[in-house]
Structure 1
Amino acid sequence: MITNREEVLENALRVFAKMNYEKASLLTIAKACGLSKPGLIYYYPFKQDLFVAVVDKYIFAMQDPAQKFSFEGSTLLEFIDHHVERVEKTMRRIVGLLDDGNNPQGCSYNFYYFHLLMQVRQYYPDARTKFIALFEKDRKLWRDIIDRAKSAGEIRAEVDTEEVVSMFREVFYGLSFEQAFLSGLDTEELSRKLRFIYSLIKA
């Protein structure tokens, strides 16, 4: 029997991602955890409490740029490579968590993660504020690195920082979303596309 809170969160993650918040009863989650319903309630008395804990750990913490990236390089090109590397590492972790051998719909595990993200917007209290803060952290990270690259003469000084930030971020999010419906994000293709943008702004 599972008695570890972390294991409860991992199993609940799989249930929420592959079913959805409304369908996932506490009994269903308890069974996935190898617990009785009272055993699950010992850890999380209410389904929303459990959902919030799952989302905090596997979305807001996992996708926080301060935790996701640890860039120590000096150039934008180095950051692009670091970005792709860390995205791939995070993706492997997500797939490892979601791949329990149960995939009756044959979806990519990236798709299940996006499915969970959509639920967050609906069921997580004040999700909009959390997403605004998360996205702004990501924009600031790109903005700071791009401004530094402009100052160092790595990229052209006249390029619009905000537009370039949007280009890099939207290629990543757009490709991630589209390929989630297929086999999951191809990080080699992501690298090529980000490097292509870089080639357009390079000094």
Structure 2
Amino acid sequence: MSARKYFIVSHDRNKSLPGLILINESTISTSGDPTFVLRDSSVRGFPPTKEVPYIKYIKSRGRKPKEFEKFRDFWLITNRVKEFLESVDAEAFVFMSCRTCIEGHESDGEYWICDVVRTINALDELKSDISIDYVGGKKLYNLIGSERYLFLEEKIQSNIIFRMQFAWHKVICNDIFREKCQKKQIKGLTFINCGR
């Protein structure tokens, strides 16, 4: 069997950004920290909130959101995408319901905040184009300018999507997940080849 191919999962990086505002920013946080911005990004999952997030699309602030968007340290996805992710790998994701107002249409359950909570230390550090930093005693991959990431398949095993342990902001998937997404025609989702 041929080796799997791996990709960085990313949002559509065009010049325009979605005009999304967290309306209840000032009342939702339990800690006083910016909501949905993780203080320790190595610990995944959602921060505690006092109420359901209320996200509104403001046309003057940007374009209309697509099915898949980056939302601070998380993703904002439609219910269709949520159902798809649950069907392909339910254990990799957690979801938080939110209220939305898109072009005057109020809805509960049409959009969800999503996080990838599976983390695997699978990068082949010797063969990948990276450098390693230590910040506050913590190991981190410096990927600035990097274009080649190779992975140890024996550590990934049958998992089709995961976060890199020492580069939390990078979500990696294999060609199986990519093909399923492309077949589903999810708008706003892009893939960058790790083996360039």
| Bigger helix share | 1
Q: Which has the larger radius of gyration?
A: 1
Point out which structure has higher relative CO (alpha carbons under 8 A, 6+ apart). 2
| Bigger strand share | 2
Q: Which TM class, normalised by the smaller chain length?
A: under 0.3
Q: Using structure 1 for the length normalisation, give the TM-score.
A: 0.22
Q: Using structure 2 for the length normalisation, give the TM-score.
A: 0.22
